[in-house]
Structure 1
Amino acid sequence: MFLGIIAVSRSGKWLFSRIAQDLLRTLRPARGHAGATFNHTEGKAMSGQMGEAREQRRNWVRVVIWGLAGSLFLLPLVAMQLTSEMNWDAFDFLVWGTMLLVACGTYELISRLSPNRRYRAATGVAIVAGFLTFWINGAVGMVGDEDNVYNLLFLAAIAVGAVLALVSWFRPRGMARALYAAAAIHAGTALYALASGADGLGSVLALCFALPYVLAGALFSRSAQQVEAAAAASDVP
């Protein structure tokens, strides 16, 4: 009788232990699944917050850019009220407005291709450098007057860079090559003009305008490295 009670007691403990173990096995995956669901939900929320912050920052930059463009468009009109030397007609304002619209619109289009800050910064630097080069050459000319052949070569550097960027479909590595090519053509033209004695001061100033192209190329290269590193990290199992 006593041995039977012990056997029943032992079997009861074994049965209780087995039930408890089965229950724990059942609960462990559920906890893991709940934790994974929580982490996934939390990650989506954080990603959404970061996306909203990025969008707000981009909207702020757009407001600044278009506001600055509007101010620059009105600047000649203000200057005409202050001095008689500034005498623009409707065609001048049309050309000026078209230049500003093309520059800002180009930045809008290209900067949307990548959320990378360096990519967007490089786009801005390249567009500002090209805009100033085009404007100065059309107004007074970098080397000599606006009809000097060297100034046409400076514009050719912009055209070559734009074509190479389009051929590369605006990928960061291709954009870097395009900007380096534009910088090489621009700097080579300025150095040749300086060596030939065409316009010493103008040639030196024109040479300085190659630096923004180099800076933009370096930023695009850095952006390409970040994109490639992120792609490599995502491929790691």
Structure 2
Amino acid sequence: MRTRTNSTAYRSAIGVAIAAAFILIWLSLSVGIIGKHGDPANLMYFGVLAVGIIGAIIARLQPHGMVRALSATALAQAFVTAIALSVGLGLRGAGRQRSWG
């Protein structure tokens, strides 16, 4: 069984995954996804990247394995969001709204 790792769709998917990883790093370090810049809760997103990288290594960048690796990465992303919301991370000062009246 021959895999088509040279296809345009596969290369595009790899490009999108790399771009998404870059954006996730940039947002976590410079802007802050959870709370403000410098909030330690943003470090959880590096675990998401670790899941993706380890999954890609295990899959040896083969298409069927990469489907599983990227699915696990998306699941890890959802877990970070669920943890942040359930624990209330990044909500400091969210209840303080300016009164105009």
Q: Is the structural similarity TM-score above 0.5? A: yes
Q: Is the 8 A contact 2:30 2:37 kept in 1?
A: yes
Instruction: Tell me the equivalent position of 1:199.
Output: 90
Matching of residue 161 in structure 1 with residue 52 in structure 2: yes
Query: Alpha-carbon deviations, 1:110-145, whole Å to 9, x = none?
Result: xxx822122112111111111000011110211013
Identity value in percent: 35
Of 181, 198, 213, the residue aligned with 2:72 is 181
Are the structure 2 counterparts of residues 180 and 149 from structure 1 closer, same or farther at C-alpha, using a change threshold of 3 Å? Answer: farther
Q: TM-score, normalised by structure 1?
A: 0.35
Within 5 Å, which residues of 2 pair with 1:18-37?
none
Give the alignment's TM-score, normalised by structure 2.
0.76
State the Cα deviation string for residues 56-110 of structure 1 (Å, max 9, x = none): xxxxxxxxxxxxxxxxxxxxxxxxxxxxxxxxxxxxxxxxxxxxxxxxxxxxxxx
Q: Which amino acid aligns with 2:76?
A: I
Secondary structure, counterpart of 1:147 in structure 2: coil
The 2-side partners of 1:157 and 1:184 are apart by 9
The amino acid across from 1:145 in the alignment is K
What RMSD over aligned residues (CA atoms) do the two structures have, in Å? 1.8
Aligned-partner Cα distance in 2 for 1:181–1:149: 23
Q: Which residue of 2 aligns with 1:148?
A: 39
Number of the residue aligned with 1:226: none
Higher relative contact order (CA 8 A, sep 6+): 2
**Structure (1 or 2) with the greater helix fraction:** 1
| Residue 43 (structure 1) aligns with | none
* Equivalent residue, structure 2, for 1:121: 12
Distance 1:173 1:150, change over 3 A: farther
**Unpaired runs of at least 5, structure 1:** 1-112, 201-237
1:180 is matched by which residue type in structure 2? S
Shift of residue 170, structure 1, vs aligned partner: 0.5
Instruction: Give the length in aligned residue pairs.
Output: 88
Q: For residue 140 of structure 1, what is the amino acid of its counterpart? A: V
Contiguous gaps of at least 5 residues in structure 2? 92-101
- Equivalent residue runs for 1:70-109 within 5 Å: none
The amino acid that maps onto 2:87 is S
The amino acid across from 1:196 in the alignment is V
